[in-house]
Structures are given as C-alpha cells and as structure tokens.
Chains A and B, each alone.
Chain A
Amino acid sequence: MKILVTVKQVPDTSGKVAVNPDGTLDRASMQTIINPDDLNAVEAALSLKDELGCKVIAFTMGPPPAEGMLRELMAMGVDEGVLVTAREFGGSDTYATSQILAAAIDTYGVEDDDIILAGRQAIDGDTAQVGPQMAEKLHLPQITYAGEITKEGNTLTVKRMLEDGFMMIKVQTPCMITCIKELNQPRYLSVGGAFEAWSKPLVTMTYETLKDHPLIDATTIGLKGSPTNILTSFTPPQKGAGMMLEGADKATTDKLAGILAAKHII
C-alpha cells in the first residue's frame, strides 16, 4: 500500500499581489508557498502512514524550483518526491494538467490498495477541477471535500462535506480523495526530518519520460492541448471611497443612523 499526494506550489495571494500593466500576474515578485489545502492532503497521508506504515509519495507539476517544496514535504515525513516538469507542459489548463498528472501517476504505478490524495483546490486558480479530472483519467472513483477519512482494510469511509450537512460515503481502494482544511491540522517539519529530506529519492519526470503514455499527446497537453483559452484578463475597478464620519461617539452613530433613515436604507 502507498499514498500518492498531488501538491502545487502557488503564489501567496494573501499578501500583496503585483499585477503587470497588461493585466497578468507578476509572479516573479511574489512569494511562493505550498498550496494550503494540499498541506491537509499531505497531513492525511502522513497520519495514515503513522498508523499503517505505508509509503507516501508527493507529485507536483511545475518549474524545477518546485523541488524545494518537495524537499520541505520530505522534511514533514513524505518518503519520495516526483517532479513533473517540461516546457511542453507549460500553459496547461485544468484538463491538460490532469492528463499530465494522471500520466505521471500511472507511470509511477497505482496498485489495488493505493490511495491518491489531493487538496480541494489551489489558491491561484480556485478551480477544484484537477482532482476530479485526474480521477476520471485514471478511471478511479473519487470523493471530494473530505472532512474525515477512516480506513478499514481496503475500504475507506469518508465524511464528504456539503453546504448544508454531509454524506458518509464508502469506497474501495484504489480511489482519489480531495481534502479540505477541516480534515486536520498539518504538522510542522521536524529538524531531523529537514536533515533527512536531502537523502530521500526525488524522481524527475520530463516530456521524454511520459511522451509514450497514451494520455500524453500534443493535442491534450500544454497550451495547445488545453480546451480553454483566456480571452482577456483584467483588474476590477476600485469602488470609490465614501464618506468618513468624524469622531467615534454617540453623535457620530446618530448621524450615521440619521443618514441611513433619510435614504430609506433602514
């Protein structure tokens, strides 16, 4: 049994975000972080490892510096990293990305008692599409929005969160599950772990490695293989500032209530 986790390095959109004059994101000026939901997927994998002693492998697609993120995950306890990287993969939308990641996972090998975990969504795109699309390409059952996962033999019971409650779903391995932040509290990397991280195996899969896989084809990967195109991107206008009321006492709140009443807002 092993657990394959897909992770993504993303720009930290919670801080200042720089936008180029042409409306694209100035990625070079931004900090990168491990996508938050992916850390919950990694934690879920590592808890299962603590319990069952299985191997955990992290997969990421991205430019070569993403290796740093894989080493960080190894310091947390991940056993192996797979970096999927090639110029040919650049510009992929979610459809093309899922083709490539599915090909990488399939090339690595999925056995009957394996589990694939992913974060619900990445904070740069917020699409939540790559997990399900990857599961489809791998012909595996999927459960998204996992808030609890328990395992008994090859049966997983997952609490799948809905807006107004939840479902309890049973599924057999191999399967794909996407994780949300309510699932767990990701652990910190340990000092010993950081030391060991550099001696753990890291495999690089390039276009050469994957090009003969049936999912990899010029018409299904990269910018040219992406079914969606960006027509335009833009920044929304800032709403103009309104009225700053003077003071912060009863006279101020009376004035505000008066304005709201006069305008029939309340």
Chain B
Amino acid sequence: MAFNSADIGAFKNVWVFCEQRQGVMMPTTFELISEGRKLADELGVELCGILLGDNVDGIAAELGNYGADKVYVYNSPLLKNYTTDAYTKVIVEAVEEIKPEVLVFGATNIGRDLAPRCAARLHTGLCADCTHLDIDMPNYKDFLREASTLPEERIEKLGTVKINGEDHPVDRDLKMTRPAFGGHLMASIICPRFRPAMATVRPGVMKKRECKKDVEILHPEFALTAEDIKTDVVAIEKAAKKLVDLIGADFIVSVGRGISKDVEKGIALAEELADVLGGVVGSSRACVDSGWISADHQVGQTGKTVHPKVYVALGISGAIQHKAGMQDSECIIAVNKNESAPMFEIADYGIVGDLFKVTPMLIESIKAAKEAK
C-alpha cells in the first residue's frame, strides 16, 4: 500500500535522528534522546533512535543510558560520511515502513540540511530550530504561564485549532515552540494533519538526563547504491584551531561593539577575565561581522544559545537577537558606558562605565575574592 502521511492513525512512537560524525555521537543526540523520552512517556509509546553510519553498533548502545527503548541502525560504507541523498533515502524509506508519529533532529548544519529534504519527500510538516517541545496540554499551558506574557484567559482556552473551518483538538499533537523574527516573538507550531510531526531542535537547549534502559538494537533491511548519491564528498577537515565550547561553559565573558576603540585589548581583557573565572570568551554578532573574532564565539539568535552560571557582557548593548541566546543565564553581569543599554534591563548586576577601565579592576577583585575563600 502506498505511504500516506495523512493517515494519522497508522503512526506510532517517537524517533530521534542520532547524528554521528566520524563514528562519534554528536552531544546533541543525547539531549534529544532525553527530550524524546519525555515526549514518548507523555504519548505512552516507545522511544527509538535511528542511527546511520558505518559500523556504528557500538555507539548505538550508549543511547540506552538516556532512555532509548530501541535503536534502528543502518550500517553501510555509503553512510560513513553524511550525504543528503543517502541519508534522506534511508530515513524516508524507514519512516514509510515503520511509521513513527514524531521525528526530531538536532538543528546542526547537518540536521538542518537533512530534515527539510526528508519532510518534503514525506509530505509532512517541519518546524525549524525549536527551543521547547510538549505533547501534554497541561504541561504546555504551564510552560506558557512561565514563558509568555499571554493572559491566563487565553492560555486556559487553548485546546483546538481551526483547520479549514473545523475545530481540531491538539491534545496528542507535538507542540513545537521556537523564536521567530530574531527572537522578538515566540511561536508554537503544530502539524495536525500529517505524520510524522517533524522538528529540528537547537543544540544546547534540551537537558541531557540519565535514564537506563535495556536498549534493543535492530538492523532493518535497506536498499542503497552509489548511484543514489549525486554528490561526492572529497574531503572532511576539522577546523585548524580548537573551537570554543560555549555550550558546555559555566562562565562566559562576551565582548560587543564596545571594544571597537581597541579591539585587541578588549579581547585580551575578556580572555583574562574568562581565565580567572575558569570560562571562555563569547561575542556579539557585531564583533563576528566586523572580523574581530571567529564565528564559533558568537552568542545569539544566529549563534549559540547558552545558559552558563555567569554571563559577563562587556560593551554589549543587548540587541534582542543577542539576548535570545543568553537571557537564561543564571547570573548576568553587564558593563557598558551607556546607562540606557538594553542589556541592563536583564542584567542581575550592572556597572555603568568604560569596560577598558572596569574590567582590569574586576579581574583584580575576583582574584582577591577567590583567594580569600
């Protein structure tokens, strides 16, 4: 029988695409497995990973530590390196055969290449770069009470959407929440008429949680030949310098346009402060666009989303796009010459002053405070 994405009743279980590169699982996979566990429990179904690669059974077993019931593993030399064509073909045919109701990917440069291609072939909906997922309506409403400015009456009334003039209940639909318009608005998207409901999820947002399961590794048959692949990967290179790990950092000292007076010194001060705190250096988009610092340092809507223990913003005015990537930090410290900088609106502690003068003193004060302990 032909695959029909509109035959909603035929679909069951939550799937996570488990991205690996060079045989190593991407950290975001474990975050997604943990989040997928929550969704599967809310739906009362199984959580399955789908893993493509060459000889990757070994890393499939790791997924049982975070709550996967099953992992579908597809091994082939043709799947060793990511190609859009091979990965799309294998995933789409697996979905057509086994029919999961939810399918999530990490919103990495690979996930965001692969997921739209699969969604277009399957004729289903896809929501990009989600920062929050829910199934249960009461949980979703609690989330809105916390994370939105919607009045209680509006939240209370939610429960159906109008589709072609008819009320459609959304109790079992995946509610995919994401920032839009550079973080000025949030939108919750659903895919009510087709399955699987598909989402890419921003790395670093979901929390990894241990949850031991006796994971079952399965090897379904699949068809793939070299002729299916229209692109030729001739080389894969790792970045020459070690990239900064913003997502895993507890302390981030970020620089903004305020360092323009003396870029080198501004970055050196940020590095020194980050060293004293035991953290790393981040930056606003302006510094990356100006070529002052490499793109792996960028925090914000088009950069990384971070939630460190302490985020120090040196000379960052606080554009909404930047705030979207760091406002959930546990403690925000802002140093800015301009007392009306929007960053002060969300800062826990603010100092109005020249970062070139304040930062060296702050370094000394923090050193002294740490030594006094």
Q: Using a CB–CB distance below 8 Å, which chain A residues touch chain B? A: 11, 13-14, 17, 19, 23-25, 93-95, 98, 123-133, 135-137, 141-145, 157, 160-172, 175, 181-182, 224, 226-239, 241-245, 247-250, 252-254, 256-261, 265-266
A-B contacts at CB below 8 angstroms, number: 281
Please name the residue on chain A nearest to B301 by beta carbon: A126
Q: Is B124 an interface residue (CB 8 A)?
A: yes
**Cβ–Cβ < 8 Å partners of B234 in chain A:** 157, 168-170
The answer for the CA separation of A153 and B340 in the assembled complex, in Å, is: 56
**Cβ–Cβ < 8 Å partners of A141 in chain B:** 84-85, 230-231
The answer for the CA separation of A258 and B144 in the assembled complex, in Å, is: 36
Q: Mark each residue of chain B from 351 to 368: 1 if its CB lies under 8 Å from any CB of chain A, else 0.
A: 111100110011011101
Prevailing SS type, chain B contact patch? mixed
Q: Is B45 an interface residue (CB 8 A)?
A: no
Pair A171/B149 contact, Cβ less than 8 Å = no
**Cβ–Cβ < 8 Å partners of A130 in chain B:** 116
> How many whole Å from A72's CB to the nearest CB in chain B?
21
Q: Which of B112, B124, B320, B366 has the most CB of A within 10 A?
A: B112
Pair A167/B236 contact, Cβ less than 8 Å = yes
The answer for the CA separation of A232 and B140 in the assembled complex, in Å, is: 11
Which of chain B's residues 115-162 have a Cβ closer than 8 Å to chain A?
Answer: 115-117, 119-121, 123-129, 144, 147-150, 154, 158, 161
Pair B184/A17 contact, Cβ less than 8 Å = yes
Query: Which of A11, A169, A252 sits near B181, CB closer than 8 Å?
Result: A11
Which of chain B's residues 188-218 have a Cβ closer than 8 Å to chain A?
Answer: 188-194
**Cβ–Cβ < 8 Å partners of B290 in chain A:** none
The answer for the CA separation of A254 and B364 in the assembled complex, in Å, is: 8
Q: Mark each residue of chain B from 325 to 338: 1 if its CB lies under 8 Å from any CB of chain A, else 0.
A: 00100111100000
Q: Is B225 an interface residue (CB 8 A)?
A: no
Pair A231/B175 contact, Cβ less than 8 Å = yes
Q: Is B226 an interface residue (CB 8 A)?
A: no
**Cβ–Cβ < 8 Å partners of A244 in chain B:** 344, 350-352
Pair B180/A126 contact, Cβ less than 8 Å = yes
Pair A254/B231 contact, Cβ less than 8 Å = no
Pair A136/B120 contact, Cβ less than 8 Å = yes
Please name the residue on chain A nearest to B242 by beta carbon: A164
**Cβ–Cβ < 8 Å partners of B126 in chain A:** 94-95, 129, 227-228
Pair A163/B109 contact, Cβ less than 8 Å = yes
The answer for the CA separation of A181 and B125 in the assembled complex, in Å, is: 28
The answer for the CA separation of A123 and B348 in the assembled complex, in Å, is: 29
Pair B369/A258 contact, Cβ less than 8 Å = yes
Query: Which of B128, B237, B327, B358 sits near A165, CB closer than 8 Å?
Result: B237
Which of chain B's residues 77-122 have a Cβ closer than 8 Å to chain A?
Answer: 81-82, 84-85, 88, 108-110, 112-113, 115-117, 119-121
> How many whole Å from A81's CB to the nearest CB in chain B?
26
**Further 4 A-B residue pairs, CB within 8 A, beyond A141-B84, A232-B154, A234-B187:** A136-B88, A167-B237, A239-B345, A241-B350
Pair A142/B117 contact, Cβ less than 8 Å = yes
Query: Which of A125, A142, A161, A232 sits near B188, CB closer than 8 Å?
Result: A232
Q: Report if A259-B180 is in contact (Cβ < 8 Å); known contacts: A94-B126, A133-B119, A231-B158.
A: no
